[in-house]
């Protein structure tokens, strides 16, 4: 029942995953084309679930359509922010019926951060409790109350962890809780420097936290505006000053084509070196969160493959 993602992780391959973000749309043609262009480069693509607490197209439906129409395996993101345990359970059964094999269990950002700040948060479960529920569905064929499920639940469950947390230890103890209830792999929040990654793995070792495959999140910056937004509004992550300065200088190039080429050059140089350093750590792969920047995902993988 292994997904391609889990097969490659178990084989010891350094795995790349990408990210797809269906926004306020009803036609997924552009998303499907993005996924098709990543085929052969990434092992799987995450499909975001109302990212940043902004109301977007269904991650469940998008995950299915991408697999069906693009032939690319997906990692279905599922947050506890918008659904109680009944809705989470229902959507997971639906994912099984649609042939989705991987799910990333997330707590989710608070609605106050998104485009409907007045929306009521749910948070009936947190991400560790969601992992526990999924494992019961998989391992025991039952819901949280012990009611039996007719048919098999075949899913691989992943979780998120933030190496940038300060202090780091409480974050890693939460991570350990997720592992102990059955998480099979993890993808990290965005990291911009190798020192943070090395400290993350050293602290994991010092706390004797059980090992699962971890993919380090990286975020090539499509423009200086994106860099500014990310630096100011993504909790717990700072874009290095040197990188911000280079992006700012590129933004001052008046010719649009040359400006785009300079952004590409900066990203390829900076992140290919970072990936090469990541490969020297215990990381089992990289999750490249270059949303709507498919050309850079492909260029980075070509530059660092092997």
Could you tell me how many helices (H) and strands (E) the chain has, helices first? 11, 8
3-state secondary structure of 215: strand
Q: How far apart are the first and last CA of the chain?
A: 27
Say how many residues make up the chain: 306
Beta-bridge partners for 30: none
Distance CA 106, CA 144 (A): 18
Cα–Cα–Cα angle for 50, 54, 60, rounded to 5 degrees = 20
Global model pTM greater than 0.75: yes
Cα–Cα–Cα angle for 85, 90, 91, rounded to 5 degrees = 100
For residue 153, give every residue at least 6 positions away whose Cβ sits within 8 Å of its Cβ, in sequence order, or none: 92, 93, 96, 134, 137, 138, 141
Selected from 3.40.50.800, 1.10.287.3610, 3.20.20.220, 3.40.50.300, the CATH number assigned to the domain covering 4-221+275-304 reads: 3.20.20.220
Per-residue confidence in pLDDT tens, the chain, 306 aa:
689 999 999 999 999 999 999 999 999 999 999 999 999 999 999 999 999 999 999 999 999 999 999 999 999 999 999 999 999 999 999 999 999 999 999 999 999 989 999 999 999 999 999 999 999 999 999 999 999 999 999 999 999 999 999 999 999 999 999 999 999 999 999 999 999 999 999 999 999 999 999 999 999 999 999 999 888 877 778 899 999 999 999 999 999 999 999 999 999 999 999 999 999 999 999 999 988 899 999 999 999 987
């Amino acid at each position: 029942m292994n997904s391609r993602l889990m097969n490659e992780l178990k084989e010891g391959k350094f795995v790349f995953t990408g990210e797809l973000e269906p926004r306020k749309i009803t036609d997924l043609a552009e998303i499907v084309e993005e996924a098709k262009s990543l085929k052969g480069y990434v092992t799987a693509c995450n499909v975001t679930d109302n990212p940043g607490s902004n109301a977007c197209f269904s991650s469940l439906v998008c995950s299915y359509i991408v697999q069906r129409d693009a032939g690319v395996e997906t990692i279905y993101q599922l947050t506890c922010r918008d659904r109680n345990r009944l809705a989470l359970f229902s959507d997971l059964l639906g994912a099984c019926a649609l042939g989705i094999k991987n799910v990333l269990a997330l707590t989710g950002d608070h609605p106050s951060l998104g485009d409907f700040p007045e929306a009521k948060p749910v948070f009936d479960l947190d991400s560790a409790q969601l992992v526990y529920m999924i494992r019961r569905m998989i391992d025991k064929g039952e819901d949280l109350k012990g009611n039996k499920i007719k048919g098999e639940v075949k899913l691989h469950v992943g979780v998120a962890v933030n190496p940038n947390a300060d202090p780091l230890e409480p974050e890693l103890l939460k991570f350990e809780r997720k592992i102990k209830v059955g998480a099979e792999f993890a993808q990290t929040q965005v990291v911009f420097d190798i020192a943070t990654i090395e400290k993350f793995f050293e602290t994991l070792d010092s706390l004797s936290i059980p090992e699962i495959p971890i993919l380090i999140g990286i975020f090539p910056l499509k423009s200086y505006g994106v860099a500014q937004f990310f630096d100011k509004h993504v909790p717990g992550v700072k874009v290095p000053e040197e990188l911000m300065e280079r992006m700012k200088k590129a933004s001052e190039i008046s010719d649009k084509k040359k400006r785009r080429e300079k952004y590409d050059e900066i990203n390829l140089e900076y992140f290919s070196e970072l990936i090469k350093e990541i490969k020297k750590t215990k990381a089992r792969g990289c999750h490249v969160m270059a949303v709507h920047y498919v050309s850079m995902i492909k260029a980075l993988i070509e530059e660092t493959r092997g």
